[in-house]
Structure 1
Amino acid sequence: MKFNNIRLRNKFLILYIFAVFLPIMLTNIIFYMITTESVKDQKTHDIDLILKQIKTDFLESVDDAIGISTSLYTDNLMNEFFERSYDTPLEYIESYDRTLRGFNKYGPSFSSIQKIEFYTNNPTVLYSGGVRYLGEEEWEGTDKEKNDSLPIIKRTTKANGESNLSVIRKLNFFKTYNEYAKVVKVDIDNLVLDSIFQNVTFEGDIFLINNKGIVEYAKNKELEWENQDISFRGIDIPENAQMFQETIHHNSGLKDWQIVGVIAEQEILEEVYQSRRFLYYVAFFNLIIPTAIIIIISNTFYSRLMKIVTHIKKVKNQQFQVIKGPEDQDEIGTLIKEYNRMIIKIKELINDVYKVNIQKKNLQLQKKQAQLSALQSQIDPHFLFNALETIRMRSIIKKEEETARIIHNMAKMLRNSITWGKDWVVVEDEVNIIIAFLEIQKYRFGSKLTYRIKIDPQIKQNIIPNMSILPFVENASIHGIEPRKSEGEICLDINKIDSTIEVIVKDNGPGFNSDKLTSLLESLTTQEQIGEHVGIKNVYYRLKLYYGNNFDFSIESQTGAGTRIKLVFPVQNEGLKGINR
């Protein structure tokens, strides 16, 4: 079905669907999908950054505790203090004052450290002032029989029920002090852990899980993870929640620990839902306002066009009615005004000159018929062609090949002159006629005439006005070669320069003086009667008719130095409409 067969109202509907409705809907759907993915990606990236920050802050606190334990681990006086056997309590107290009285100096220096305690099984020490008895409970999580110097990290519970995440390390750096077992325990401040894990920017739960899958810390206090071992696998995670993990790779006892963030999908998509509502509003306004405008404009178009169609249908029944209504200033209003003017004019023509025009047309028809009869009575041009062909064949039979070739060229030129109504030719055809002309001239002048033709292969099939180059070659032959006593040369160069065709015709004839050249150029611009230089003026006026000012024409000549004519006009393709070939 052709589009032009569809009713105008349906065309407006198609225009609305494909130019307004579908583009707006597709644009909003694509924008929503891209925005949703972008928000999800941004939210995921933000959560990853939060977990990385929690991990970094947590490791800083752990590193502080490990650093203190390492300092005490390599402290010779500290190891000697716990390894020594004391005879009396007073002796121990004096040694304690010298060695341990200032050990809590690390607390003020590191805000993440809550308390430092020592454990030993040396029976001669007093278990007070930060020194505790090393029992089986304190050995839990370590191999007391193994000489392991690395710290371990575990949750420890005090007698009052308070639990801490602690760094525990054996004091066995010095091999000479191994009579008694010695352990230092550095407690990380719970307030520091709370400030790290109770991150207000993370809207879900955060868990610190050790390498056995046990929860060591949780943001949610209702899990009671502080006083009992809770496996992370046993925690009920909502189905629509998303989980984010950050694994801790640390050389200490934190290897393969994890920080896990659990957040409801609703929290992640909250910004998406907000953007969705915004998109709904935008889509609504983008759809309703253009729809209303298109309906209003299309109705004004359709109603007025239907009024025009209705009146035009009446015209075929000879009802010449003027369309009444306000005179609008748009194209349809102009169409209505022109229609009304046409109707009025038709009425005037019918009433005033209809019969006169019929009589005039009859006379013109009779005149054309008489002219056609006169033309039909003329000699058929094919008779001349056949006669020339007969002479050419007789010349070939008598082996007068040069004469036959010249007759053949004359026939081509005669055919071209008879078909003068052909306005355009391809460059190659024009050059062929020029070659035929030059061959005839060469037959006439003999060795006195030489010629050279150079044509760009790219433009052989481009079209130019018929007989636009030949007159200049003819002038070069008549005015340039004929007056010479010595050998003369005609050069023709046809090239494509950008989007133009450049034609240069040169001869080495006597040329013009400056006064004569100036007079010739002035006669072209003043458009006086043709008179002299018929060929040049004829071509110039035809080129101006075809191209307007969109062509260049120049003549360069000096007395005794020959003449150079240059033509430049636009490139046109062979298939242009309206070319008579």
Structure 2
Amino acid sequence: MLKNSIHRVSQAMDNVKIHNKLIILFICCVMIPIVTTNCALYYIVSKKAEVERITEMKNVQQRLKYNISTVFEAAESVANQFKKDKVLNDFLNTRYADNMEYYESYSALMRDNAFSYYYQSESVYKISLFTNNKTVTRSSSFYPLSDIVNEEWYLNAVAKNSNDCTLQVYFNNPIIKNPYEAWTNRKISIFTQLDSFGAIKKFLKVDISYTDLEQLVFNEKSVQDILIVDDGKILFDTRHGRLEGKPFEQFVPVDEHLLKEEETMKVLGDEWKIIIISERKHFFDNFIDNRALLCLTILINLIIPSTAIMLIGNSIKDRVRITESYIKKLKDGKYKRIDCYEGKDEIGSLISSYNLMVLRIQELVEVVLKGNAERQKLIISKKEAELQALQSQVNPHFMFNTLESIRMKSLLNGEEETATIIGTLALHMRRTIGWGDDFTTIGEEIEFLKGYLEIQKYRFGDRLDYSIHVQQVCEQYRIPKFSILTFVENACIHGIEKKSDGGRIDVIIMEEVDHLIIEIMDNGVGIKEEALNRINLLIKTASIEKVKEGNSIGIINSYLRLKMYYHEVVEFQIESKYNEGTEVYMVLPCNKDVLEGMG
């Protein structure tokens, strides 16, 4: 049964493509072992690290609990000693006749060192005694009770109506109201009432050094942060640095993704929470702590897949390498058969197909190349014929219009100057008839244009005025001949000639962001909307056949030439308003390379 199953699986694998075989190999020999072992290791190492971190956090809590308790026990002991001090109580209960009597008693109290004896605790920052005995003068430790009767912490303490020591935690306003409050803004104090004597009230306030307590907390900070909270109020927080000058903030529960340990402790009846929080240890940190296990895992993950891949790879790499080398030769146009043992697997089939392909390519190369060469010749011949057709339309069109203009002027005026203008015209005729190079520089085109306009100015007289503005950098750019002249000619014949009072023609040529901008404007009779729409339609559908039909020959001819020479990278617009004038706007590439292939 097992043998048959293996045989069926082997036969099935024979039909699996190499790509899929390698995927199966990778999944079975690499992915499954790596994922399984790494997940197991990660779980074990992470749990171990987390337990260690929690243990350390609990140790920090116990140390803090012990140190804080020690501070408050010492401070409470000082407060209790003051309550029992008969000399001090007698001093506060006595009503003095004058300041001299008070000073003598005060000096005796200080001489006996009874007061300073209780100041030896390092945890006590300041001791303050308050009384309503008005004969006791304010000094460094004695204050009138009226200084604190309106303070919130005092009202809270009195409201408890307890003779025992109570803990008062509050924030003092930065604007110091009382001199004894000037040492810090955050207060942690032990407050208690001394023995009463008639109407005389006496209270003791032992201020514990907030900075010393904060230092105890910061001494325990390492990778974890520490918060101490009293009734929802954050007393200490290592996340935000020193807080002695900042108001108390309300506690907000920490993010659940953090490790957190919470411990409570009693401080003079108040319940403080010591909260330790820490980031969960990073994946790689856990592995560094378990280097031996990591090395073993890597070794197992490398040996098994590497062995399997090596055995399978050796069976295919030689033929694949040879096949690859021959395929690379195709880039250089070298079509050669692969001369090696093909085999019967997919690689063998690939080599056989490659050899067959090479034979077919060798047979087809000559046929395809010859066919392409012939088609290219036909295309070139067609383009040359189209250009020649366009050129044959431009030359007579321009010459005949010009000669007619001169003839009409001569017949009408009978002027002797006609001979001179005919001489100028002859120069332009030689240029027109001898087409030669299809291209000219803008500078040469403008010189030719000026000659034409002078001829037209001779005809129209004062009825024609013109201006030509060419940016100097544009003069060396090459354009097809008569690209500008055709539209200036149209402006003269169809725009200015039909206007009784004549008009003006303006030509502007400039460069803008690698493009050549050409504008020809006149204030002649313009073009009616219907005619303008017809011309725009002819431009949109322009072809050699349209030129042969004879409709708007000059415009269509010039537009087609520009499209051919610039490989259709041309923007061309005609705008006109009847009885106001016409504007022709062209945008051509400035890149000389565009014309090099055609010139």
TM-score normalised by length of structure 1: 0.43
TM-score (norm 2): 0.42
